[in-house]
Every structure is written in C-alpha cells, then in structure tokens.
C-alpha cells in the first residue's frame, strides 16, 4: 500500500449511488413489508414467522439482503452510510456477499449472475459501483480510479440494529455459510474462487524464481452443493498489465474489480495436481462502523472488527463487537472458501458466499459479570474456544494520529500484534474469570495458543485461543 495516502473527498457515495441507495430502501420499506419483499431461507426460522409481512413486535423476523450495486459499499466502512435495514435485536438476516476478486475470472464468478453483474458492471460510460476504497472520488493521488483502491473489499450492508448505542455489544451468530453457485451454465453445480499472490503479500520481495517480482492468480473450484469439503486448483496465471474500461492501465493489482482480459494472460492448467484443500468457508470482513473517521479503508482490521481474516469466523461461530456508533452498522464481505493462518501471499481463496446471521444486541448495562464485560475489541466464540484478536495497533485510528490510515501500513509487526493479543487475553481472563494477573499469566503460558492471523492487512494480527473446557 502506498504511504502517501490522503483524502480530498470525504463524500461516501457519489450522487448517483446515494440516490440509488435511497431508492432501494424506499422500494423495500414503502410497502411496510420488508420481509415479504425479500427472499427468505433457513430451516431455523419457523415458516409462520418467516412469512410474516413486516415486523410483528415480540417476534423475530428474517430479512434477506441480496448483493447488488445498491446494497454494497466497496473498500470502506463509514458511519455516514445510511443503513439498508434496521433490525430488532434477535432478528435473522441472510446476506449475500461477493468477493472483490470475481473479475479475475468473470466467466466463472460473474457471468449470468445479476447481482454480481450489477456490482461489477463497468463500461466506458459507467461503473456499477464507482467508489472503491476510502480515497478521493477524483483519483488525484494515484490515478487508479474512484476511491483509489485504498480499501478493496465489497461489503454488503450496513445493517442497523434498533437501539444499539456506543458501549453496547453486538453479538453476531453465524448460522450458515454457503458458497455462491456459479451462474454460468457451463460450470453448473460448482463455485469458484481466486487466490492472488500479490504485491502486498509477505512473500513478494522474497521470491526465489524468475521473473521477480510477479503477481500470480490461482483459480480454485469448490463443490457448490457443499457435499465435497475440499477445493482444487483449476489453473493459474501471472498478472499482466490490465487496461480497465476507463483506459487506466493497472500494471499491478492496485485497484479492485479490474476485469482481467484472458486474451492477455497465459493460463497454466494441471497445477497442484491431486491436491485437495480443505475448505473453511468464512468471512474475511465482518464488523461495524468505527466512530473516529468518516471514511475508513476496509483493509486494516480494528477494534470494531472489519478485515480480521480469521478462518474461524465461519458457520457456528459467534462474533462480539463493541458498538461505536448508533445502530452499530453491521456489514459483511470479503468472503473466503479457505485460508491458512497468516494469509501469507495476500489473499485466501476469495469466493462469494451467502451467510445467515442472528444479530443480538447486548446492552451495556447487562454486561457486568459476563464474558463481554469491558469488551473493547472483537471477540470470537466457537463451540470449544474463545478467540481474541490482537493487532499491531488495537485502535490505529486513535493511536497513530491524523495520518493513521497511511501510517498503519508502515508499522506492520507481528511482535506488536502479539503484545496486543497478550494484553487482551490478560484483560479477558482477569475481567471475565476474576483471575489475578499472576493466575492469568500462568494460564496463558500453559494453555493459550497464540497464532499468526494475517501478515498482509497493514494492521497485522495475532489471535489467542483459550479452550473453554479449562473452566470446569
């Protein structure tokens, strides 16, 4: 990431996009029947409830948010975004999320899919979603495009939770995660993802073989039915300069969603033969809008979550986020089919998925004595574990001053993330288990596993895993 970031335009959406967003909301809300206007799925919701036309007080509703050019924000979080929906605590929502790497192979990841096509639309006249990143809309910094690619993830949302206020905790239960089937009849029954070994990867300046440096895209295939729990490589290609429909040449992967012209690249098939990659479908990005800044680059994770890139944030897991702005403003994106701890080369298998969530608001006054007391960082709970996420900077937006959004990329360090993960786990054990500092430190030495979450997101991550069964 370039160091000399600045923003000359703090508007969140272009005028057209704002209007579009409002129109979507009007359409959905005008009839007073949000649920009825949205597809409903999920065996977890009683059919009677799921078919409720609108919100019945005291019941839970199940909303559906498709991914379209009107429902996504690309490359940034913002407290200024008007929410798509406002839910009650306890409501369910199914959210489609799209990978921002779909244009690495549009035949397999976009073609025939109206939602993806609307988001990725880009011809000489118009982009489906113009702003991509938290940079200026007029790309005066680097000339890459609107938003300058300072932030890359397609996020669906935000969704507000009624009554959520700073100091509360939003509990997000991930009930289901399903790969998005390829809509191109040629690849029926399959889903596809892209893995980019890119310039922001840990390996990039440390390659052995020529040509150096290089960026390489590997396309993976998974079974859309979910019956096969592994991915396999289809082919790879070396990135070549790509000219986008506005005429800008992208020598490297410096702007999200640039269509790759496959006449300009050499596909190598037959790679990674007989290799089966276990899939771990999850969301690289899930989180709330921070309060500090109007427009926040989606890449560095933060105290309200965001791009944590922990593969454990998948089906069955629950995330807890501190609410920083009214309504919380929850978004999800950066879907992954599989990732290793560290996300070494820069990305996972970036693969569109649809998630079903339950959002529960935990009011500040009710948190005392619970595992959420004093929580000021994103916390993951799985069936067997508590997982805390440390970053090089716990809240870089306040710690690194006015230029925080560029400085964070200069200060990436696992050592610092380990320090933060240690402090958070100590806080967690002392606050929620009532341990003394000495008890907490001993327990961390003998029973907590610290791992490298990612070394590619500016604000690098170390997670700390505490098995629940330690506490009788």
Task: CB nearer to a copy of itself: give 383 or 469.
Answer: 469
Least separation in angstroms between residue 68's CB and a copy of itself is 28
User: Does the footprint of a copy of itself cover residue 231 (CB under 8 A)?
Assistant: yes
Please identify, among the stretches 91-99, 102-110, 363-371, 415-423, the one whose residues bind a copy of itself according to the rule CB under 8 A. Answer: 415-423
User: Does the footprint of a copy of itself cover residue 252 (CB under 8 A)?
Assistant: no
CA distances from 241 to 18, 131, 215, 253 (A): 32, 22, 11, 9
Q: How many alpha carbons lie under 13 Å from residue 50 in its C-beta half-sphere?
A: 14
CA distances from 211 to 198, 201, 260, 336 (A): 14, 16, 20, 28
* Of residues 433-472, those binding a copy of itself (CB under 8 A): 435-439, 441-452, 455, 462, 467, 469-472
Q: Determine the Cα–Cα distance for residues 296 and 411; give it in Å rounded to an integer.
A: 17
Contact 50, 21 (CB under 8 A): no
User: Does the footprint of a copy of itself cover residue 30 (CB under 8 A)?
Assistant: no
User: Does the footprint of a copy of itself cover residue 339 (CB under 8 A)?
Assistant: yes
Contact 105, 120 (CB under 8 A): no
- Of these, 48, 208, 365, 402, which contacts a copy of itself (CB under 8 A)? 208
Task: CB nearer to a copy of itself: give 125 or 469.
Answer: 469
The alpha carbons of the chain give a radius of gyration, in whole angstroms, of 21
Please identify, among the stretches 47-55, 114-122, 172-180, 412-420, the one whose residues bind a copy of itself according to the rule CB under 8 A. Answer: 412-420
User: Does the footprint of a copy of itself cover residue 380 (CB under 8 A)?
Assistant: no
E strand or H helix that includes residue 114: helix 114-120
Least separation in angstroms between residue 428's CB and a copy of itself is 13
User: Does the footprint of a copy of itself cover residue 265 (CB under 8 A)?
Assistant: no
- C-alpha triplet 331, 335, 338: angle, nearest 5°: 145
Phi, psi of 226 (to 5 degrees): 85, 0
The count of residues interacting with a copy of itself (CB under 8 A) is 67
Q: Determine the Cα–Cα distance for residues 244 and 229; give it in Å rounded to an integer.
A: 35
- Of these, 39, 43, 56, 207, which contacts a copy of itself (CB under 8 A)? 207
**Pairing mode, if any, of strands 85-87 and 154-161?**
parallel
Quickly tell me which residue has 């680097």 as its tokens. 142
Least separation in angstroms between residue 205's CB and a copy of itself is 11
The two tokens of residue 219 are: 């396309």
* Of residues 274-313, those binding a copy of itself (CB under 8 A): 274-278
Q: Determine the Cα–Cα distance for residues 31 and 40; give it in Å rounded to an integer.
A: 17
User: Does the footprint of a copy of itself cover residue 11 (CB under 8 A)?
Assistant: no
Contact 90, 362 (CB under 8 A): no
Task: CB nearer to a copy of itself: give 38 or 421.
Answer: 421
Task: CB nearer to a copy of itself: give 124 or 205.
Answer: 205
CA distances from 460 to 259, 297, 410 (A): 29, 15, 11
Least separation in angstroms between residue 141's CB and a copy of itself is 28
The two tokens of residue 6 are: 């600045």
User: Does the footprint of a copy of itself cover residue 109 (CB under 8 A)?
Assistant: no
Binding site for a copy of itself (CB under 8 A): 195, 197, 201-203, 206-209, 216, 218, 220, 231, 233, 236, 271-272, 274-278, 338-349, 413-415, 418-419, 422-423, 426, 430, 435-439, 441-452, 455, 462, 467, 469-472
């Amino acid at each position: 990431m370039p160091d000399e970031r600045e923003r000359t335009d703090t508007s969140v959406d272009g005028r057209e996009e704002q209007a579009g967003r409002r129109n979507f909301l009007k359409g959905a809300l005008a009839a007073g029947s949000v649920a009825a206007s949205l597809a409903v799925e999920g065996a977890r919701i009683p059919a009677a409830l799921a078919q409720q036309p609108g919100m019945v007080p005291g019941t839970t509703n199940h909303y559906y948010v498709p991914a379209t050019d009107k429902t996504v924000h690309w490359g940034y979080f913002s407290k200024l975004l008007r929410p798509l929906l406002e839910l009650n605590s306890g409501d369910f929502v199914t959210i489609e999320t799209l990978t921002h790497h779909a244009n690495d192979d549009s035949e397999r990841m976009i073609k025939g899919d109206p939602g993806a096509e609307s988001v990725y639309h880009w011809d000489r006249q118009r982009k489906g979603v113009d702003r991509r990143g938290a940079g200026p809309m007029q790309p005066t910094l680097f000339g890459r495009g609107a938003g300058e690619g300072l932030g890359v993830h397609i996020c669906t949302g935000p969704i507000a939770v009624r009554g959520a206020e700073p100091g509360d905790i939003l509990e997000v239960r991930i009930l289901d995660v399903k790969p998005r089937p390829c809509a191109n009849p040629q690849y029926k029954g399959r889903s596809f993802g892209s893995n980019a070994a890119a310039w922001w990867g840990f390996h990039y300046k440390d390659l052995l073989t020529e040509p150096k440096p290089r960026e390489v895209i590997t396309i993976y295939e998974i079974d859309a039915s979910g019956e096969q729990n592994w991915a396999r490589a289809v082919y790879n290609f070396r990135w070549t300069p790509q000219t986008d429909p506005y005429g800008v040449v992208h020598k490297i992967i410096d702007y999200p969603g640039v269509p790759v012209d496959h006449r300009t690249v050499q596909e190598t098939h037959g790679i990674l033969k007989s290799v089966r990659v276990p899939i771990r479908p999850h969301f690289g990005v899930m989180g709330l809008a921070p309060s500090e800044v109007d427009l926040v680059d989606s890449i560095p994770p933060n105290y309200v979550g965001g791009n944590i890139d922990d593969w454990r944030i998948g089906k069955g897991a629950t995330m807890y986020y501190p609410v920083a702005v009214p309504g919380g403003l929850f978004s999800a994106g950066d879907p992954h089919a599989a990732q290793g701890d560290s996300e070494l080369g820069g990305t996972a298998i970036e693969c569109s998925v649809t998630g079903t969530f339950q959002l529960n608001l935990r009011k500040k006054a009710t948190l005392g004595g619970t595992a959420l007391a004093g929580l000021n960082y994103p916390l993951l709970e799985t069936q067997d574990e508590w997982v805390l996420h440390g970053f090089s900077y716990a809240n870089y937006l306040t710690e690194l001053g006015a230029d925080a959004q560029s400085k964070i990329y200069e200060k990436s360090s696992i050592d610092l993330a380990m320090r933060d993960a240690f402090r958070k786990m100590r806080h967690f054990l002392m606050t929620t288990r009532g341990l003394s500092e000495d008890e907490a430190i001993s327990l961390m030495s003998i029973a907590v596993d610290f791992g490298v979450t990612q070394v590619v997101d500016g604000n690098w991550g170390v997670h700390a895993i505490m098995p629940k069964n330690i506490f009788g």
